[in-house]
């Protein structure tokens, strides 16, 4: 496995060009409403880059049977590669759209970068939101799901943390809950960013903020896939970090 925290320079040097298409996703908080968009979801997932992974996802409410889901393992990893900078951009991106925004933020803020990786990478099939039984949708339908992540960054070296993720069924992917429940962000400024087909960040933000007691949640912003550098930089500047 590669180092999880990299300095901005290292990040820019190794990061692949962002992939992934803009999913034509209608705003919806209910997995069941997605069927008509299955095709576009599927193709977006297939053209994407898989990053990290979470574990098994017990199926949603229906699967009930006690498959509570979640394996929430995580390992605290020292920031051996930290540049000592005060700002960390930590991002999960299954198909590259949010990573592209994260890359722009890290560059603009001269921040370190941490890729949040699920222990079990999401496959294209896992991301097919046209099928309610597939992994990502099943996880989102199960509030207790806590997919494992490969590692949790050592937030202690940072004063400011920017957390990025896609929107899945109106919320942050459950592995963001795994991450926050394994972390202490108290006393830090935290800003959240996401990409989505059309849904806003509000629902995700409300949930994640609750999982970071004591953090100063200074902002949350949704970007479209393909957001411009100036749009991203303007938001970063508006936070007065
Ligand atoms: C399982 C799944 C659920 C999604 N749910 C939503 C949604 O509720 N609203 C929305 O606007 N987009 C939704 N999308 C689209 C993604 O938010 C969008 O493609 C995002 O840019 C992906 O980011 P990434 O490339 O960083 O993974 C969903 C995508 C997947 C795979």
- Contact assessment for residue 7 and residue 81, using Cβ atoms and an 8 Å cutoff: yes
All structural domains of the chain: 5-16+36-238 (3.40.50.360)
Structure tokens, 91: 């991002």
Q: Which atom of ligand 1 is nearest to the CA of 23?
A: 19
**For 80-137, what is each residue's pLDDT tens digit?**
343 445 999 999 999 999 999 999 999 999 999 999 999 999 999 999 999 989 999 9
Residue 10's pLDDT is what?
A: 58
Helix or strand (DSSP H, E) at 238:
helix 229-238
Q: What's the pTM?
A: 0.76
Question: Which mutation among 16, 20, 23 tests ligand 1's pocket best, with the greatest number of atoms within 8 A of CB?
Answer: 23
Whole-angstrom distance, CA of residue 29 vs CA of residue 34? 10
Whole-angstrom distance, CA of residue 211 vs CA of residue 36? 33
Residue 8's pLDDT is what?
A: 54
**For 159-188, what is each residue's pLDDT tens digit?**
999 999 999 999 999 999 999 999 999 999
- Contact assessment for residue 167 and residue 201, using Cβ atoms and an 8 Å cutoff: yes
pLDDT at 32 over 90: no
Centroid of ligand 1 to alpha carbon of 202 (angstroms):
15
What number of CA atoms fall less than 13 Å from residue 157's CA on the CB side?
Answer: 21
pLDDT at 27 over 70: no
Centroid of ligand 1 to alpha carbon of 162 (angstroms):
19
**For 198-228, what is each residue's pLDDT tens digit?**
999 999 999 999 999 999 999 999 999 999 9
Q: What is the dihedral of CA 60, 62, 65, 71, to 10 degrees?
A: 0
Percent of the chain with pLDDT over 90: 64
Q: Which atom of ligand 1 is nearest to the CA of 93?
A: 26
């Amino acid at each position: 496995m590669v180092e999880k925290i990299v300095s901005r320079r290292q990040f820019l040097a190794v990061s692949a060009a962002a992939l992934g298409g803009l999913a034509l996703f209608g705003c919806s908080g209910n997995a069941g409403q997605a069927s008509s968009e299955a095709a576009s979801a599927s193709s977006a997932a297939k053209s994407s880059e898989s990053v990290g992974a979470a574990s098994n996802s017990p199926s949603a409410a229906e699967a009930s049977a006690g498959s509570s889901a979640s394996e929430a393992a995580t390992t605290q990893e020292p920031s051996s590669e930290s540049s000592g900078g005060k700002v960390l951009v930590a991002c999960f991106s299954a198909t590259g759209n949010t990573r592209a925004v994260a890359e722009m933020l890290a560059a603009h803020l001269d921040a370190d970068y941490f890729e949040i990786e699920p222990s079990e990478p999401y496959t294209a099939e896992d991301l097919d939101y046209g099928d309610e039984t597939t992994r990502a949708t099943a996880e989102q339908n199960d509030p207790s799901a806590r997919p494992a992540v490969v590692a949790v960054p050592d937030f202690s070296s940072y004063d400011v943390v920017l957390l990025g993720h896609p929107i899945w069924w109106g919320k942050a992917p459950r592995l963001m809950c795994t991450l926050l429940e394994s972390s202490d962000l108290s006393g830090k400024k935290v800003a959240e960013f996401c990409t989505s087909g059309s849904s806003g960040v509000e629902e995700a933000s409300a949930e994640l903020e609750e999982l970071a007691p004591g953090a100063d949640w200074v902002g949350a912003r949704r970007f479209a896939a393909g957001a411009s550098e100036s749009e991203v930089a303007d938001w970063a500047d508006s936070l007065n970090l």
